[in-house]
Structures are given as structure tokens and as C-alpha cells.
Amino acid sequence: MGVIVPLFFHLIQILLLSISGAVLGSLDETLINQLLSSAQQDKDWLVSIRRQIHENPELKFEEHNTSALIRRELDKLGISYTYPVAKTGIVAHIGSGSRPVVALRADMDALPLQVELVEWEHKSKIDGKMHACGHDVHTTILLGAAKLLHQRKDMLKGTVRLLFQPAEEGGAGASYMVKEGGLGDSEAIFAVHVDDGIPTGSIASISGPMLAAVSMFQVKIEGQGGHAAAPHATVDPIVAASFTVLALQQLISRETDPIQSQVLSVTYLRGGTALNVVPSYVEFGGTLRSLTTEGLNQLQKRLKEVVKGQAAVHRCNAYVDMKEEEFPPIPAVTNDESLHLHVKRVGGLMLGPENVRLAEKVMAGDDFAFYQEMIPGVELSIGIRNEEKGSIHWPHSPHFFVDEDVLPIGAALEASLAEIYLNEHQRLVVQ
């Protein structure tokens, strides 16, 4: 009898938890459906906002008009915000003002592409600039989520911070947002990024490493120029540079664990112009990438050692510039496991489990990683692929085009991720 009674109560507890979980799941599904329905009603507004931003792209830390448009819309909605943060950034606040606090982030900047090669009414009006990475979509989605959450502000069991961030493309804008207090008391953060590899109406997420830590480098090898007919009277930087580039390739093939993902790419080499003259110097440069921040740090260290050593062997001097002012290094995007499971559950309820995929690891980078160094976070992919509409091209392509059906889906998804997170963690706070 002494064993049966505790067992009975344990079974009752399991049954109650199961019932409670089913009820909460049903409530979450109802909430998600309401948000998705509201977002679909806002589609014309979302499309209009996105097209305004797309037509007027602005580069890193120059997003003045984009920022002004966002502030106008927030003012119309009656949403309070802090401005400026990180020069052109905005942090909006919705909810009770108390904990728990969850953050949503969107990047605002465009790319320096010479011309948009998509012929449509709303193509870029600014020569040399284009929203070819979907940041106009990310910003619009976050504005849509802001509207949805504000409509339910009195029901939010905590606070949502919305980070409209500048300078993701090479400016490490996220690091400035962090330094200037953009996260506040946030304990978790989510972001979406458009993905041409999966169809509209689907998402992809993964726990652990997802995007690479990234840095750039530039090398100058100095020798002594002279006439090519008398190479013995020169110190040839071309030979030194050639051996150096080949030696650098061994850092991946002979020093990196094959299980680890790392990239060292030399993307240009230039030196001299005459056919009969050995130049006095050669320059080359490229990028380093690793799925771990520690791996990137090691690559940077060994690059400097190899360049200096190879130059010395060939009687040359070498100078290495990691270009940190122009292209600040960024850490690896590493998604939190529990938040990844949250994304899978909420995404499955909204889109169906069959439309929630496992994201692929990619050696591109994203400064969202700076937020993840401070608090747990997930950057997830949201599908835009639609062959009929021509939404099939990679980001950073002048042919990049977006299926705008993603806008209400993304807005509802972000709002759902935030509100359900608050509901779940408010219960933990109360307990």
C-alpha cells in the first residue's frame, strides 16, 4: 500500500500536466491563428511599407530615411520608442514594461550593388544601392509584428523590445546596439532572415552553430623592384606572394580538424603593370570564416604568422591589415537549443510541422551573433522561394527578388514567438 499511494499520485500528476499542456497548446494555436488572420488583413499596408523601403535603399549607418519612415509608422500606431540608438537605430517598447522581456530584431541597411537587374515598378531608385539581402523585408516584418503586438498590448504578460538595427552589412551595427543598451533587460532574442532556398510558407531553424564568424584581411609584401632581365638584382615580391598564398591554403587542409568548418579565401592579388619589370610590392586580400569564434581567432593568428614567415624566407617585408575598422570581425551565430525548440513548436502550429525544416549551416555571417554573446537567441530562416514569381535568386545578387506573400507570415510568426514566449516565462516568474 505504501508503494501504491505515491505511484497513484505520480500518475495523477502526469495526467494533470498532460491536460494542462493540451489546454495551453490549444490556447497557443488559437492565438497564432488570430495573429495570422490579422496579419493577412494588413498585407496591403505591409507591401506598401516594404516597397517604399526597397525603392530607397541606404547603406550602413546612413539609414536616415528608412529610420524616419519606421518612426512615422510607430507614431501612427502609438508605440513608444527610443531614438537614436547606434546612430540611426530605433528600439521600440510594447507591453507592461516589466519582466519577462523578449527582443525581436530587424536589420535596415542595403548593399552597395551598382544596379538592380530586376525590371519591376518598385526597383531601386538609387544608383549603386539595392536591398539585395532582404533587409527591407525584415524591417517590414518587424513593423508588422509591432502592429500586431500593440493591438494586444494589454494582454502581453511582459515586455517586447523591437530592435530596428543599422549596419548589418559590414558595419557590425549589432555591436553598437548592444553597447548603447538596445537589449535592455531582454532575456532572449529572435530574428528572421529571408531564404530563397525554401518555399514561401516554410521556415528553417537549427540549434548550435548556424552562420560563420567572419573577418577580412589585406596583405602587402614589399621587395625591391627592378628589370626582369636581371632578377638576381631584385627582391621579387611576386614569388614571395605566390608562396604565401599557397602556404595559407595549408592552414585549412593541414591544420584544421576536417570535422570543423573553416574557410580561407584569397580573393584578389595585384602587383605591377609592366611585362618586363619586377614590381616593388604585391598586395592581396580575402576573407576568413569559421563556424566557431575560437576557430576564427586561431585562423587570424596563423595567417599573420604564415605571411610574415613566408615573406622573410624570400627576403621581403610583410604587412597584414585585418581591416577591422572598415569590416569589424563578427562572431559565429550559434542558436540556443531551447529557443530553437520554441521556434519549431510555434512554427509548427502556424505553418504545419511539415513546413518547419532543419536549417543548413552556412559560411556566410550575420552580426546577430553579437546579441547572442549577451543573451540566448535564435536567427531562423523564412522561405521566399517562388518560381512563378521569380523569387529564386541568392541574396547579394542584382537579380534578387522577393515573394511578398512572406510579409504577413513573418509578421505573425514574430509576434507569436514573442507573445507565447512571454506567456510561458511569466508562468515561471509567478512560480
pLDDT at residue 274, as a whole number: 96
- Residues 311 and 398 both lie in one domain: no
Q: Assign residue 393 the CATH number of its domain.
A: 3.40.630.10
> Could you report the per-residue pLDDT of 98-124, keeping only the tens digit for each?
999 999 999 999 999 989 999 999 999
- How many folded domains does the chain comprise? 2
Structural domain contains residue 204: yes
3-state SS assignment for residue 267: strand
Q: Assign residue 298 the CATH number of its domain.
A: 3.30.70.360
- The Cα 240–Cα 272 span in angstroms is 14
What is the pTM for the complete model shown?
A: 0.91
Write down which residue in 321, 353, 386 finishes a domain.
321
pLDDT at residue 426, as a whole number: 84
Q: What is the extent of the structural domain holding 281?
A: 213-321
- Pairing relationship of beta strands 159-165 and 89-95 according to DSSP bridges: antiparallel
84 is written with which cell numbers? 537614436
Ligand-binding annotation for 133, yes or no, is yes
E-only strand ranges, 41-158? 80-85, 89-95, 101-107
3-state SS assignment for residue 255: coil
pLDDT at residue 4, as a whole number: 60
- Pairing relationship of beta strands 333-335 and 208-211 according to DSSP bridges: antiparallel
Of 104, 159, 82, the residue nearest 371 (C-alpha)? 104
Write down which residue in 292, 321, 350 finishes a domain.
321
3-state SS assignment for residue 244: helix
Q: How far is CA 315 from the centre of its chain?
A: 43
- Residues 397 and 273 both lie in one domain: no
- Residues 171 and 314 both lie in one domain: no
3-state SS assignment for residue 283: strand
Please provide residue 228's backbone torsions phi and psi, each rounded to the nearest 5 degrees: -65, -15
- Residues 277 and 423 both lie in one domain: no
pLDDT at residue 13, as a whole number: 56
- The Cα 385–Cα 201 span in angstroms is 9
- Residues 190 and 270 both lie in one domain: no
Of 82, 104, 102, the residue nearest 92 (C-alpha)? 82
- Residues 339 and 304 both lie in one domain: no
Ligand-binding annotation for 131, yes or no, is no
Structural domain contains residue 418: yes
Contact indicator for 365, 214 with CB cutoff of 8 Å: yes
pLDDT at residue 268, as a whole number: 98
Ligand-binding annotation for 227, yes or no, is no
Ligand-binding annotation for 169, yes or no, is yes
- Pairing relationship of beta strands 203-205 and 356-358 according to DSSP bridges: parallel
User: What stretches in the chain show pLDDT beneath 50?
Assistant: 15-21, 430-431
Ligand-binding annotation for 135, yes or no, is yes
pLDDT at residue 241, as a whole number: 98
